[in-house]
Structure 1
Amino acid sequence: MKKTVFGLTVASLALLANTAFADTQLKLVEVITSPARTETLKEMVSAYEAANPGVTVEIVSLPWGQAYEKLATMVAGGDVPDVVEMPDKWQALYAGAGKLASLEDHIKAWEHGPTLTDKTMAMARLAGGTAYSVPYGFYLRAMFYNKKLLAEAGVAKPPKTMEEFHDALAKVSALDGKSGYCLRGSRGGHSGWLMNAAAMNGSADFFTADGKSTLNTPEAIKGYQELIDIYQEGLAPKDSVNWGFNEIVAGFYSGTCAFLDQDPDALIAVQERMDNADFAVIPMPTGPHGKAYPTIGFVGWSIFNTTEHESDAWKLVAHLSDPENNKVWARKVGVIPVHTGADKDPYFQTEQFAGWFETLNGADYVPLVLPHQLEGFGYFADTIAVETAQQALLGEITAKEMADQWADYMNEEYTKWKANQ
């Protein structure tokens, strides 16, 4: 006679246990969605499922334009994913709200943890000093240039300084129907203004030791004025005051303008339409202090601490983040990989990637980490900076008036952030 436990046979209990194991399901939310990257993600997830029998992964793809609001609604409504694609500017918000799991112990025990670069771990710990994500790549600013246009304009070599850059823009803009610079005047253009301010300040610090914004120093104002002058002198297309990402990238690959400062994600569209022999990528021009401060951003994989399957969730993050998968993902989405040795891969040993790796490894280039720890920085970047920068470009306000508005807002946000520490 079979033993029973509260009316269930031992065999039945075993069957229930196996069924429970087989029903383990993870929800992964991607927030920077496109058909090609989603397909790549599905392939990687399928390999994870094959290696982890009994675990299935539901992929929820959110359109980038509404991703912030949709993810926030999911979390507020209790539909919290296990794993999420986490942009840098959201990480501080969710970590600060106590919603993300620390990945420190997982990374420490991971066989590939030691090959994560120092910058990768610094970014992982950006929110309060604890690793709340495994970054999957860097969006690092560098300068694309059109070799043919520079040659036609008589520019002997690509510029290394801001002064040489302005001179090159003027020479290209003298060509019939051509402009020097693909200026990003609309959403996302804040990076250009902040890089110029940092280069003139000679510092990557957004606040002084006593918590005052550096965005309206006399030096920073000179940096803003440089961009205003570029636009008002006709060294950028007139309609670039309204250009966003798609427009500036199209402006470059169409040959409308000779220079484009962008992250590696722009390389995908450019390489589809230009021969590699016709363009290259160099570090951002240095300022009067001999340094350039290119913005650096990242996206990674995070785990919500409400998950009931943290071990499986971590295995998924580790799988997506291992060196081989990371290289595949970096190529597909246009980021710089996060493991040491990636620059030795033949795929990345080209003129087109040289500017980014030189930036990461060069002493003259200090990556500018934007203050995403401030809850109101997203509103500043997407709304305040866009509106006021466009006013400045059009001559409706001065560089100083814009700078003072920015500094006042940032001072207020810093005070609120500091009070919560």
Structure 2
Amino acid sequence: MTNKWSKLSLVLLTMLVVLSACSSGNNKGNNQSSSTGEASGKNVTLTFWHHYSTASPEEKTLTQVLIPKFEAENPGIKVKAVAIPWDELHKKLQIGGSGGDLPDVARLDIIWVPEFQKRDLLLSLDEKFTDFNDIAQGLLEGPLTTGKVGDHYYGVPLNTNTKVLFWNQDMLTQSGVDKAPETTEEFFTALGKIKTKYDKVWGFGEPALQGWNLLPWIWSNGGDILSPDNTTAEAYLNSPATVDIISKLRDAYKAGQISGFKPGDVAVTEGHASGSYAMMAEGPWAVAQFNSQFADYKVQMAQFPKGSAGSIQVLGGEDLGIFSKDKQEEAWKFVKFMVSEAAQVEMGKVGQIPVNLAAMDNAEIKAIDYYGPFLEQLKTAKARPSVDVWPQIDGVLSDTMSSIFMTDKDIKAELDAAVSKIDGLLKQ
């Protein structure tokens, strides 16, 4: 009888040990999400590719403020941020899509979203995450649409922006120009006066000849790149309005009044602050750069010069997209953090216009007076065509404009050739 009870006691003891172990495991699972990797005692590391300039105020805020805060709030998740220049990032994502070397999350130019969605590389956020609509309701509607392709969202806006005219008041005044040019006619007249006064400087600095740089001039002059339905460039890119404004810009370049886009040219933002360029068109990040690197420079801003169609700048901004296949929940946590009020306010303080509605109403953001000109310019800003082949179209534009500006080739003939190439891309 004693032996029988001994065996029964042993069985009961074993069951209690097993139940205790199970209970301990369940408690751990209830207290901490297993998606963080902590249930298995392992950390999860997210790779985040972005194109904030190294050592810029935005990059410093990201790496020194936001990521440490996110990691503290989400034990078990680490974020490895990798800074890659804008054009290189695009190429790296294209190559990675074919070779499988992709980040978990990336900061995407808004125009890249259709391209990577078509290649089935981006996660459909509204289909995957049940709280997507809750997050979306707290973001600006316009920028939110940049992440939508078809019926679903493949990105959420991280920031929005546009460009305004920066002008050096002392240089313009010394040149006989008493205010910022309000029209394109006044702009080109001012370029001539500045060159007469300052032979060794340029009236306007332009860092590139891509759509981002030239579309504002073309749109404001009544021209365009593609038809409204984005099916052809014929009669738009090679229209009289486009030819007219490109001709004026090339004439100004040939006269030594415009520079900045050739290898070896003085960097435009730094050059504007130091007096090499009397004017430039840039975004709010330029103000943050001036404040951190050129504290003595007095920033002057105005609306982009009006053409026959008005003052139409390009709508910019970046979206956050998720490429991860195996860390999607962790990646979504990071994306939500980056578009939260707290994170948006921190980035807003260093020149990144928020897309979070609460952040835009935050007292610290409202106190940033230099946002005013950009918010005004955003009222008429237009987005680049939302087509998956835009990056290739942009390449055709850049090559064509380089040929036009660097040679004396016939502008209409060069644009006609570009139209043929672009229409071929649109038909793919």
Q: TM-score scaled to structure 2, two decimals? A: 0.81
CA contact (8 A) 1:26 1:313 kept: no
What is residue 396 of structure 1 aligned with on the other side? Answer: 408
Tell me, yes or no, if structure 1 residue 320 matches structure 2 residue 338.
yes
1:116 and 2:116 are equivalent in the alignment: no
Distance 1:72 1:243, change over 3 A: closer
- The AA in structure 2 aligned to 1:371 is P
Q: What's the offset of the Cα at 1:220?
A: 1.1
Partner of 1:336: 353
Asked if the contact 1:282/1:355 (under 8 Å) is kept, the reply is: yes
What is residue 412 of structure 1 aligned with on the other side? 424
CA distance in 2, matches of 1:368, 1:245: 29
| Alpha-carbon distance change, 161 to 219 in structure 1, aligned in 2, over 3 angstroms | same
Q: CA deviation at 1:62?
A: 4.3
Please state whether the residue corresponding to 2:226 is helix, strand or coil: coil
Structure 2 counterparts to residues 120-135 of structure 1, below 5 A: 120-125=143-148, 127-135=149-157
Amino acid paired to 1:118: E
Deviation sequence 1:174-229 (CA, Å, 0-9, x none): 21335453343x64544332222222226x67224482212111111112112112
- What displacement does 1:275 show? 5.0
Q: Secondary structure of 2:305's match?
A: coil
Query: Where do 1:289-328 residues align within 5 Å?
Result: 289=309, 291-304=310-323, 306-310=325-329, 312-328=330-346
Question: What is the CA–CA distance in structure 2 between the aligned matches of 1:149 and 1:58, rounded to whole Å?
Answer: 46
Who is 1:260 aligned against?
A: 280
Q: 1:356 Cα shift?
A: 0.8
Match of 1:152 in 2: 174
Aligned-partner SS, 1:392 = helix
- What is the 5 A alignment of 1:269-284? 269-275=289-295, 278-284=298-304
Q: Secondary structure at 1:29's aligned position in 2?
A: strand
1:226 aligned counterpart, secondary structure: helix
- Closer/same/farther in 2, CA of residues 95 and 330 from structure 1, 3 Å limit: farther
Give the deviation of 1:138 after TM superposition. 2.1
| Number of residue pairs aligned between Structure 1 and Structure 2 | 401
Distance in 1 separating the partners of 2:198 and 2:230: 51
Q: Is the 8 A contact 2:273 2:297 kept in 1?
A: no
Aligned-partner Cα distance in 2 for 1:351–1:281: 12
Find the counterpart in structure 2 of residue 141 from structure 1.
163
1:97 corresponds to: 119
Contact 1:159 1:168 in 2 (8 A): yes
Bigger mean CA offset, 217-226 vs 387-396: 387-396
Say whether the 8 Å CA contact 1:188–1:244 is kept in structure 2: no
Residues 30 and 62, structure 1, Cα contact 8 Å, conserved in 2: yes
Structure 1 residue 317: deviation in Å?
Answer: 1.1
Q: Distance in 2 between matches of 1:180 and 1:143?
A: 15
Distance 1:76 1:141, change over 3 A: same
CA contact (8 A) 1:101 1:302 kept: yes
Larger radius of gyration: 2
Rounded Cα–Cα distance in structure 1 between residues aligned with 2:100 and 2:20: 34
Cα gap change, 1:116 to 1:13, in 2 (>3 Å):
closer
How many percent of aligned residue pairs carry the same amino acid?
19
- Which residue of 2 is the match for residue 25 of structure 1? 44
- Judging changes above 3 Å, is the alpha-carbon distance between structure 1 residues 181 and 85 closer, same or farther for their aligned structure 2 residues? same
Aligned partner letter, 2:271: G
Query: Matched residues in 1 for 2:320 and 2:261: separation?
Result: 34
Write the mapping of 1:34-49 to structure 2, written as runs, cut at 5 A: 34-36=54-56, 37-42=58-63, 43-49=65-71
- What SS does the aligned partner of 2:281 have? strand
**1:14 Cα deviation (Å)?**
5.1
Deviations 1:129-183 (A, max 9, x none): 5322122112412111111112212212212211111122222222133545334
